[in-house]
Every structure is written in structure tokens, then in C-alpha cells.
Structure 1
């Protein structure tokens, strides 16, 4: 029993180390320079451990993005206001968009790596679950806050438009130049104008 616990603890520690090393390397280097071998060395594990845990480079990138998105989801559902419950919907919407830009901005290398991995063969069922768990939650949260603040607006479509801006190539390039704050300010202006119109 102790042996099993130690193995589980080791596996959890290795997972955390691999994800942290991946994020650090993507922040410091272009995605094409971040190989599985380099990630393994930075995490202090064997390359086989990385492949065993994540299956492929694309799987590792998706797992990292999902982990960051999950942390944001916890802040939205259980954290303090204005990101968490308790603030007016307009304030929560602005705080959420700020948080999304922060996640995307800190993980710009990750987004680029995910874009490169898009051409690889993928599992449509798994991708659908992943998309639902990230995009679906973000879209649902944004559209609910818009609808609560301005029931007269097409909240569902507006949420797609706001999130679509983050997947736009010029915006991704802007984030790659370290201009997340500029994007956050512009999104705030758009949303404030939309809610007050």
C-alpha cells in the first residue's frame, strides 16, 4: 500500500513538474524549439515519462491549457468577487475577460503550440469534450453575464464574438509581442460601451 501511494505521489509530482517546465519553456522560447526531450530534461524526468503521461506533444499542450483554464473556472465558481460570485454581472464580465486575457497572454507560446498541433491527427470525441470544458464554459459564463446585465442583447452571439477575438491571428501576434494589457484595455472599452449602450 505504501509503495502504491509513493508511486501515485511520484506520478503527481512528475505531472506538475512536466507542466511547469512546459509553461516555462514556452514563455522563454518559440514553440518549435520546445521539444519533448527539452521538456523532459527541464522537468527532471525521462522522455518516456512525458510520452507515457501525455501521449504526444499535442496532448501535453492541450493538458497544460486545460489545467490553466480549470484554475480560472475555479476562481469563477468559488473565488472572491468580482471574478467570483457576489459582484454585479457587468463587473464580473470585465473581471472575467481580464482573467481570460491574462491566461491567454501568459500562455501565448502555448496557444501557438496548440495551433501548430491542430494539423496533427486528433480524436474528435476527445477534442469535443475539451472544447466543451474550456470554450463551452467560457462562452456560457460570458453569455449569462451579458444576458443578466442586458437582457435585450443577443448574449449568445456577443459571447462568441468576444471569444473569437482571442483566436484572431493579429490578436495572437499582439499577445506574442507582450501586449496583453493593451488587449485587456480594448476589450474593456468594447464591453463597457456594449453594456451601457
Structure 2
């Protein structure tokens, strides 16, 4: 039976190094991107803050690539609103499930969080607002050493829902590097989905 995730009850987090994530997912026969705070750091080019986890984004249609990349690991799907349950081999997770917690074994810390996002044809579609879209080819960037990561404006769009101190720090770090088209896309996406937002004034200066 699914269990409610109680802090500490299912074990602590010990984020995998970026190099381990790259080694594992580079064999996945599907596009993937480093997401979350590490995506911001890859865009900025240096560490910004400490991290409680490390995120990898896959398209929902490619979700089983995570099982191949993490073969033998203990994988749990996060069923809304806050229930973890084992993710069975070969199981296609339904649209309401966006996150998978991953650890090498049940007695080890959680190491990687896999996030599933939506797409239609050659377009990425925001799970927050289906009106927010962009071509899949423009969803991510690649670092100088070949690591794919979510474009910072897309990552900030998700962080804008309810910015925490760490999200504000990420925004401050990457804002000076955003070009005008990136700022405009992010401002338009935030306005469409969230309405009035404190980041808009700084984006549109």
C-alpha cells in the first residue's frame, strides 16, 4: 500500500554528484536535462548555493528511460497529494504523477529526483499551464562539457509559482545573463500562468 512520506521516515537525501547523473543518463535512448538548482548553476557557470537534491527532467513519453538509466535502483512515484509508492518495472505513470524519487537500494539515501514533463509532437507543454509551450529544441541548453540542462528561463518559470529563498537566489544569480528574448518569454509565461508577480518588474527593466 502507498505510504505518506513523513520527513525522515523514508530515509534522508544525499544528492548524487552531477558526474554520476551524467554517466547514468547518457546511456538513456531519450532526451533528458539536468533541472532544478543545478540547471541554474550550469547556466551561470559556477556554484550558487547548497542543494538538497538533484533533478533530472524527462518527457513523460520517455519516462521508462529513467528505469533503464537507473536499472536495479529503488524507484518510488510521488502520487499527489504527497504519497510515495513503488514504481513497478515497465509501468507507465499517469499524467498526475510528475516526480519519481530514486535511490540505489531501500536502505540507502535518496539520490536523484526524476521529473516528468508533458509534450505534444515537437513541443514542450507546461504541466502548470498548457498555454505555455516552446519547441523541444529550445527547451534546454548544453554546457561546455556536454551536459544537457533545462534552459534557465524555463526553470525560473517553474520556480516562480511560489518563490522560496533558494529560488530567489537562483533568480538573482541568472537574471544578469538572460538575453532579451529569454526575459520576454519568461515574463510572458509568468504573466499568463501566475498573473502579477514580483519578478516581472526586474525582468522588464
**TM-score of the pair, normalised by structure 2:** 0.27
Larger strand proportion, structure 1 or 2? 2
| Larger Rg belongs to | 1
Structure with more of its chain in helix, by fraction: 1
